[in-house]
Amino acid sequence: MDSVLNSASAQLASQIENHLHNIYCSFEAEEVTQLVSDLISIMRLGSVEQLPTPYKNHWSQQDIIMITYGDSLHRADERAMNTLHHFLNEQCDGVISGVHVLPFFPYSSDDGFAVSDYYQVRESVGEWQDIQRLSSEYRLMSDLVINHGSGESLWFDNFVKGEGVGHDYYFTASPDDDLSEVVRPRTSPLLREVETADGLKHVWCTFSHDQVDFDFRNTAVLKEFVQIFRFYLDQGVNIFRLDAVAFLWKEAGSRCLNLDQTHEVVRLFRTLIEYACPNAMIITETNIPSRENLSYFGNANEAHCVYNFSLPPLLLHALITGQNFYLKQWMMSMPPAQDGTSFFNFIASHDGIGLRPVEGILPDSEVDLMIETMQNFGGHVSWRALDDGAKKPYEINIALFEALQGTTDGKDNWGEARFLCAHRIMLALEGIPGIYLHSLLGTLNDHERVEMTGQFRSINRHQWDYTALEALLTDEASHHYRVFSGLKDLIAIRIQQKAFHPNATQFTLHLGEQLFGFWRQSIDRTQNIFCLNNISAEPASLSLSDLNLISTQDWSDLLSGQHYEDLQGAILLAPYQSVWLSNTIG
């Protein structure tokens, strides 16, 4: 046994050493050896019992993640996290397996993404015991806001004073540095002047001036975040969302995006958590063009999951235009995720509908058409700065239910059908589904919150009174009831199908512009599901003979229950109707 332990521990030390050599190329061997020892100690990996199993899928078709803020639901005299827990148990029993609680830490801006204390739970949300209780029943995903921290934190105060923890945590640069190639997601100036005890400094702010970037060239920063990983694991977190990680490493004269050191840091984190907790996962949040996003899979040695960022804008475009050309072209170009990795599919989130992920996929004219349509439906547009100082649309801010209330021709009566069609497509695709709370509830645009905060993203960050919400969810006349019931019914069907395993085979079908379809086959090849979707406001017909169904098998629609005996006949799909045509399996 001792030899096994020694072998596993030796391999862990060797892996960490290789990562560190690639990150800190100029370090002497003694420095790397000491850092290896420090990281092993912080993660409490002094005696490793076994090697992680490579290429292991930590998920199945039964995994559905709900995305929410910890305080999106409120009930009098109850901590918000407990209200959320009650909602999950009372309203979502059997359909939600995990929950992504967006930053629940003290913060100074950006609704939680300017963290001022990584080791505390925000008082308005709850306490660590609430987090632990939730994680005992659901897979818990937490953000690790790793690129930047609050400009109003103790760490930053110490930076200004030049002493104490955090005094050397932040990235500084000179206005004279070559910053012309730096990729920006915002229009604010990159550098912020700060008067410190050591004189005037210019801190690096990829996002806002209250979100100051960390300096991972300093190994104290690396060790601090490894300590945070360990602390969150102890609280029950086992899925880590690395927020804005693509910007983590900076070098003057470069794009400061997706640099080699950034990828190596992600690989290091994966190694550490796989040894510390074999079922823990890393998911990278990289709102960038599709090919760059896919690079964070590495060779199944970086992120376990990547956000499928191109899906929301492409699916939205298909449903408001009634044409699937660009969605289908993108689908055909997507490589299958190898074992040990998976796509994280979503079509709405706390942020907007990102437009960078469709660069090179959707022509500018189609993006402009989509923006105009969303503005007509009450949405807003956020911008980013280009190298030449010009601006380009970065994301559309709108509640998804409102975004799908019409087409490019204007609003119509097919909004609910179109909205459910979007989710039937998302739930059937290769990958793990993530459903935003406000999509699950059919929440509308919150214009009052936008006015209150001055932030366009607030349009899709409504806070519900839970008692009022409960009444709506039992009122059959309410669209909230119909949406919630419809989505729960869909999920209940989805989680029973082996062909919907996140890594099951997927092929895109060619059924014309009006019908968007794909085929899924279970890993054991016993179940086949043809996912057929009419993405237009007009009826559509499909000949079953075009699908080449095996005539010796029984075929039926999982959604309607209709059985198909004449495999030479036709299926007539109403506007925005979907069919999950499956063979019978034992």
Tell me the one-letter amino acid at 522: S
H/E stretch holding 5 reads helix 2-23
pLDDT for residue 3 is more than 70: no
Ranges of each domain in the chain: 505-583
Assigned CATH class of 505-583: mainly beta
Q: Is 57 helix (H, G, I), strand (E, B) or coil?
A: coil
> pLDDT by residue (tens digit) across 77-122?
999 999 999 999 999 999 999 999 999 999 999 999 999 999 999 9
Per DSSP, which regions of 303-454 are E strands? 305-307, 342-345, 353-354, 380-385, 391-397, 406-407, 410-411, 432-436
Q: What is the pLDDT of residues 179-219, one digit of tens each?
A: 999 998 888 999 999 999 999 999 999 999 999 999 999 99
SS3 at position 261: helix
Check pLDDT > 90 for residue 585: no
The counts of H helices and E strands in the chain are: 17, 27
**Catalytic residue at 554?**
no
Q: Whole-angstrom Cα distance, residue 573 to residue 258?
A: 44
Q: pLDDT tens digits for 273-299?
A: 999 999 999 999 998 999 999 999 999
> Residues of the chain with pLDDT > 70: what percent?
99
* pTM listed for this prediction: 0.96
In the annotated binding site for substrate, the residues are 110, 148, 241-243, 350-351, 457
Place of tokens 């492409």: 314
Q: Over the stretch 526-535, which tens digit does the pLDDT of each residue have? A: 999 999 999 9
Give binding residues as ranges.
Answer: 110, 148, 241-243, 350-351, 457
Q: Which of 63, 71, 213, 243 is catalytic?
A: 243
